């Protein structure tokens, strides 16, 4: 059985039966059969269905948001915003997919030569719990608009969200078996990948999960797209607008209670402004209200699971033992559920856990640096390379720094975020491949060259 547990009080919401191995085979076959017909449909037809999905998402956003908050603890206002963003990505690809995938004529020795983009087939999506609707729709909208079908293996702690997403596609008028949810544990993923009807795999999750899935897919020679962890740098240079930087820093660290791959984690601040930055961050964190995520006045919600709280606690305690200075927070909240205090660690240096590792919770690591050159060095001194940002009043200087930091995205005077219009993905151990934008829709197509003599 799969269990949905409320992290506010660790009480079980509901149990869901898992699919047996024989069920998995039948479901995948039915999705493949649906794809055989779907791949021949027009972009106009697909667009109408995705616009229907966007309408459903907006009409029932409060229902879906509540489901999300109940299962993984996200602030209710963040859950509502996530549903609205899902509707946006549906509308975006409904409008632009056809133009993005039009044939590309290429001059050669042929009478005519061109590249055409054709769907691959059934895509397995292994998705995480931290953005349980957005992560799925940011994959599904471009993939299905490109003519693919999908089976979803969602995180085991958000089964209600997984089934709700399947129902959205059905209610919008998509073929019944074009998008199906597999209620399975991680141990059953190997069977799915090995199935001959699965064409490719996309995974958003941990470095270990990505490595395991990519290894299995490689064994069966199937394409993968991996969006993994991140330890994003938030660089504050000596000429930054500190008020704007601090305000954004609080949001960038606390969004989803810090449980985001692209949440700012390493705050790399030049010595001349680090004391001011630290003090303002402390004041901001001290004003945050912990409470029920369903309460609009709450700032600090629970983390998604007890084991996440355990790991954050170990990372903080180990870093303090290694020499980091505790500014505020640093321990579990004195209340039931999976709460951890918003925490700031200062004087963070190389060798400390929070310097090197991804912290999936409300923990700020402030790393002082002498200047711009050292800031870039420290930003790149990490195994991850997903996103990051730099703060400076000199936009040319900001662009120079952005180009030198090795990540999939860098923002100048803004918070790292995903946007349907912009490609999204990482380098190094943050994964490979791109989602969103015009690049993302081409990840799961066959770019076929046609030469006519």
Model confidence pLDDT, tens digit, residues 145-198? 999 999 999 999 999 999 999 999 999 999 999 999 999 999 999 999 999 999
How does strand 2-6 pair with strand 431-432? unpaired
Q: Look up residue 355 and give its DSSP letter.
A: H
Strands (E), 377-426: 384-385, 389-391, 411-412
Q: What is the Rg, in whole angstroms, of the alpha carbon atoms belonging to the chain? A: 23
Distances (CA, A) of 225 to 56, 214, 292, 383: 28, 8, 36, 18
CATH of the domain spanning 232-419: 3.40.309.10
pLDDT tier at 364 (50, 70, 90 boundaries)? very high
Check residue 236 and give its pLDDT.
99
Q: In this predicted model, what pLDDT tens digit does every residue of 244-264 receive, in sequence order?
A: 999 999 999 999 999 999 999
Mean pLDDT of the chain: 98
Per CATH, the number for 2-228+430-452 is 3.40.605.10
At residue 22, the pLDDT reads 98
pLDDT category at 17 given cuts 50, 70, 90 is very high
Q: How confident is the model at residue 282 (pLDDT cuts 50, 70, 90)?
A: very high
* Percentage of residues in the chain having pLDDT higher than 90: 100
Which pLDDT value is given to residue 154? 98
Question: What is the reported pLDDT for 253?
Answer: 98
pLDDT band with cut points at 50, 70 and 90 for residue 327: very high
Cα 27 to Cα 2, 97, 183, 246, 327, distances in angstroms = 18, 27, 11, 49, 52
348-373: average pLDDT: 98
pTM of the model: 0.97
The string of pLDDT tens digits covering residues 55-71 is 999 999 999 999 999 99
Domain ranges (residues) in the chain: 2-228+430-452, 232-419
pLDDT in tens, 391-445: 999 999 999 999 999 999 999 999 999 999 999 999 999 999 999 999 999 999 9
pLDDT tens digits for range 84-123: 999 999 999 999 999 999 999 999 999 999 999 999 999 9
pLDDT tens column, 35-50: 999 999 999 999 999 9
Catalytic residue annotation: 227, 261
Residue 295: CB atoms within 10 A of its CB come to: 13
Q: What is the pLDDT of residue 247?
A: 98
């Amino acid at each position: 059985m799969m269990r949905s547990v409320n992290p506010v009080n660790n009480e079980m919401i509901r149990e869901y039966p898992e699919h047996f191995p024989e069920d998995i085979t039948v479901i995948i076959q039915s999705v493949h059969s649906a794809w055989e017909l779907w791949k021949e449909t027009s972009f106009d037809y697909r667009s109408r269905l995705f616009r229907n999905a966007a309408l459903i998402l907006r009409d029932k956003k409060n229902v879906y948001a509540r489901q999300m908050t109940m299962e993984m603890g996200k602030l209710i206002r963040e859950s509502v915003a996530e549903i609205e963003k899902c509707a946006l990505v549906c509308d975006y690809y409904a409008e632009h997919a056809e133009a993005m995938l039009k044939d590309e004529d290429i001059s050669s020795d042929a009478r005519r030569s061109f590249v055409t983009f054709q769907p691959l087939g059934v895509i397995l999506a292994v998705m995480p719990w931290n953005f349980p609707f957005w992560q799925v729709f940011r994959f599904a909208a471009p993939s299905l608009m490109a003519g693919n079908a999908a089976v979803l293996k969602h995180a085991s702690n958000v089964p209600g969200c997984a089934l709700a997403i399947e129902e959205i596609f059905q209610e919008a008028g998509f073929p019944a078996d074009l998008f199906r949810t597999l209620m399975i544990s991680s141990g059953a993923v190997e069977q799915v990948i090995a199935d001959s009807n699965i064409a490719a795999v996309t995974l958003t999750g941990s470095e270990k999960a990505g490595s395991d899935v990519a290894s299995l897919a490689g064994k069966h020679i199937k394409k993968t797209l991996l969006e993994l962890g991140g330890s994003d740098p938030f660089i504050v240079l000596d000429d930054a607008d500190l008020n704007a930087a601090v305000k954004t820093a609080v949001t960038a660290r606390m969004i989803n209670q810090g449980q985001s791959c692209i949440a700012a984690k390493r705050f790399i601040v030049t010595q001349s402004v680090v004391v001011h930055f630290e003090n303002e961050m402390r004041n901001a964190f001290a004003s945050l209200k912990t409470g029920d995520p369903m309460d609009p006045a709450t700032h600090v919600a629970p983390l998604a699971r007890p084991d996440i709280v355990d790991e954050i606690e170990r990372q903080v305690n180990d870093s303090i033992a290694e020499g980091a200075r505790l500014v505020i927070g640093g321990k579990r909240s004195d209340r039931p559920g999976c709460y951890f205090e918003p925490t700031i660690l200062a004087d963070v240096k190389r060798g400390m856990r929070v310097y090197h590792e991804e912290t999936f919770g409300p923990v700020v690591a402030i790393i002082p640096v002498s200047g711009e050159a050292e800031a870039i060095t420290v930003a790149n001194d990490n195994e991850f390379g997903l996103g990051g940002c730099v703060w400076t009043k000199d936009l040319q200087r900001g662009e120079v720094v952005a180009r030198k930091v090795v990540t999939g995205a860098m923002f100048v005077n803004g918070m790292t975020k995903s946007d349907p219009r912009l490609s999204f993905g990482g380098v190094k151990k943050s994964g490979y491949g791109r989602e969103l934008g015009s690049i993302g829709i081409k990840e799961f197509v066959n770019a076929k060259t046609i030469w006519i003599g």
